[in-house]
Chain A
Amino acid sequence: MTLGERTRPDFPILSRQIHGHPLVYLDSAASSQKPRQVLEAMQRYYERSHANVHRSIHTLGEEATELYEAARDAARGFIGARFREEVVFTRGATEGINVVARAVANMLRPGDEILVTEMEHHSNLIPWQMVCRERGAVLRAVPVSGAGFLDMEALARLLSPRTRLVAAAHVSNVLGTINPAADIVRRGREAGALVLLDGAQAAPHLPLDVAAIGCDFYVFSGHKMLGPTGIGVLYGRRETLERLEPGMGGSEMIKEVWIDHAQWNELPWRFEPGTPPIAEAVGLHAAVEYLEKLGMARVEAHERELCRLTLEALETIPGVTLYGPRNPEVKGAVVAFNVEGIHPHDGAALLDERGIAVRAGHHCAQPLMKRLGIVGTLRASFSVYNTAAEVVRLAEAVEGLRGAL
């Protein structure tokens, strides 16, 4: 039995019918579905253990705190961080990048540079535009080749002593390209820059070892990796986090407060003001356990096979254009494509009529769309619960798209 067939019964939503067809959910890169184990863990938490964390001196408060902090330990293990204080809970990858951007803004001077890439999701672009404009810093971008790879020679050229931070996707949410994370980090750090990797499309699909990658920051979202919405992780190297001023203030992030000043709390709580998403952390913990039980190497192999089957099926269909690397070995679990004469939104609406959920549009990567000279694409993306039979249904439906309007 394949991973997809084995895991499907755990995902209640997958038994839905859409417009009279069994749901084929191929939009996990936008948000994955949740297994029963995650839903039940959150339900159990609210029914048995909910209270506010950290300063509640009663049984429920202690249980909630234990569950919340246990989720941090699970996340630490999942990404290979060395210390639990390196794991900051956020609302998601976007918030993680903004937390870093606010903190880094304090260190930026006019003329300093931040280096991004042309394939960034808007989440890893707009925060840097904002801090650059605010501090008079310069934003530069590493170009992407026609085949969908980062131009690493250009990256080397663009790095300079003025580069204060490099922000790059680990895996592109459109092209699927797995960027050479360790190489980017090595070059960035050699130039004296901090390096942030956006792992939103990597954490759900690949075995991770952030300590080995060596980045200063790594962010991802729970809801793309079988967990709930409203929780994500900002990993920060301890040495780097210690140097940063928090950008957001409130309770929990302080040690002692006077009317006109305060002393910051220890890591990681310094970056977690306010009551955190406790139930969501519990859900994320269950999602991590679910993925670890499957084994991330097997998850990766399963999704790579689906990606390979999809590329093979789509490239034989007349009128289909594929974007990004063709070799599934260097690609994450996404396949972006267009059908001649069919706008991506029309394509997605027509596929939906057959029960197939795909993403359509610019995928929050408008500079990349401009670079490719297109308005948008269709995008099929995979998770543990997808099957080869679903790829066949997608291919059949795509075949019928040309001339459908």
Chain B
Amino acid sequence: MVYSSVIRERFRRPRLRGELPRPDLAFEDVNPLCGDRIRIECRIADGRLSDARHRGDSCAICAASADLLLEMVIGRTVEEAAAVEPAALLERLEADIRPTRFRCVTLPLSVLQGALEGREVAL
């Protein structure tokens, strides 16, 4: 099943979709396979990711992945947040993600890492 109940639920009712006013860090990037764009904004306090939001135009898998990822990392240190492995996300999504959709899962991860490294958005 490509669209697990976790993906459907997160896609329908995301918990962390939206924007943060005056975020400390923000980054966005596109998936070259489909043109989907995801933006993640973060607030940092005492070396920890105190809050984060995601938004953008993306498929259900990518949106669900972003939502789950932010839930996993809020409250963690910046180093911990940047070190989340794709396997951990895949496990939480409980879905049979095929290689063609793997990038849908990992795009939010690389966008989060871009934000945490303070990378510039290339438009």
- Asked if B35 and A343 sit within 8 Å, CB to CB, the answer is no
Within the complex, the shortest CB–CB distance from B12 to chain A, in Å, comes to 7
Cβ of A405: which chain B residues have Cβ within 8 Å of it? 3, 7-8, 11-12, 60
- Whether B35 lies near A349 (C-beta < 8 A) is no
**In the complex, what distance in Å separates the CA atom of A350 from the CA atom of B58?**
16
Interface contacts (Cβ under 8 Å), in number, total: 44
Q: Say yes or no: A362-B59 contact (C-beta < 8 A), given A349-B2, A349-B3, A405-B11.
A: no
The B-contacting residues of A in range 316-374, CB under 8 angstroms, are: 343-346, 349-350, 353, 360-362, 366, 369
Task: Kindly state whether residue B57 has any CB partner on chain A within 8 Å.
Answer: yes
B33 close to chain A: CB less than 8 A: yes
Q: How far is the CB of A385 from chain B (nearest CB, A)?
A: 24
Q: What distance in Å separates the Cβ of B28 from its nearest Cβ neighbour in chain A?
A: 14
Residues 41-72 of B at the A interface (beta carbon under 8 Å): 57-61
Is B123 an interface residue, CB under 8 A from the partner? Answer: no
- Is B88 an interface position by the 8 A CB rule? no
B101 CB-CB contact with A under 8 Å? yes
Interface positions of B from 1 to 24, Cβ below 8 Å from A:
2-3, 7-8, 11-12
With the chains together, A405 CA to B58 CA distance in Å?
14
| Complex interface: chain B residues within 8 A of A360 (CB) | 34
- B8 close to A376 (CB less than 8 A): no
Contact check, B101 vs A375: say whether CB atoms are below 8 A apart: no
Measured CB to CB, the closest approach of chain A to B57, in angstroms, equals: 5
Also in contact, A362 and B34, with CB within 8 A (given A405-B3, A405-B11): yes
User: With A350-B3, A353-B2, A405-B3 in contact, is A345–B59 under 8 Å at CB?
Assistant: yes
- B35 to A375, Cβ gap below 8 A? yes
A374 to chain B, nearest CB (A): 9
Q: Return the contact of A376 from the options B2, B34, B104 (Cβ within 8 A).
A: B34
Contacts of B104 in A (CB 8 A): 345
Scoring A residues 122 to 155 as 1 if CB is less than 8 Å from chain B, else 0, what string do you get?
A: 0000000000000000000000000000000000
Cα–Cα, bound, A375→B58 (Å): 8
Min distance, Cβ A90 to any Cβ of chain B, angstroms: 25
Residues of A within 8 A of B58 (CB): 343, 375
Q: List the A residue with the shortest CB-CB distance to B34.
A: A361
Distance, CA A369 to CA B59, complexed state (A): 16
CA distance A108 to B11 in the complex (A): 51
CB proximity of A286 to chain B, nearest CB, Å: 31
Closest-CB distance, A242 to chain B (whole angstroms): 39
Determine if A375 and B2 form an interchain contact, defined as CB atoms under 8 angstroms apart.
no
Residues of B within 8 A of A375 (CB): 34-37, 57-58
Interface centre among A349, A353, A376 (most CB of B within 10 A): A349
Contact A343 B2 (CB under 8 A): no
- Most A CB contacts (10 A, CB to CB) among B3, B8, B35, B57 go to B35
Q: In the complex, which of the residues B11, B33, B101 contacts A349, with contact meaning CB atoms closer than 8 Å? A: B101
Q: Are B35 and A362 in contact (CB under 8 A)?
A: yes
Contact A369 B8 (CB under 8 A): no
Q: Is the CB of A361 within 8 A of B3?
A: no
Q: Which of B67-115 contact A (CB under 8 A)?
A: 101, 104
Collect the chain B residues with CB atoms within 8 Å of residue A344's CB. 34, 59
Which A residues lie at the B interface, using CB under 8 A? 343-346, 349-350, 353, 360-362, 366, 369, 375-376, 405
Q: Please, could you name 23 A-B residue pairs with CB atoms under 8 Å apart, sorted by A?
A: A343-B36, A343-B57, A343-B58, A343-B59, A343-B60, A344-B59, A345-B104, A346-B3, A346-B59, A346-B60, A346-B61, A349-B3, A361-B34, A369-B35, A375-B34, A375-B36, A375-B37, A375-B58, A376-B34, A376-B35, A405-B3, A405-B12, A405-B60
Query: A-B pairs with the 5 shortest C-beta distances?
Result: A343-B59, A345-B59, A362-B35, A361-B34, A346-B60
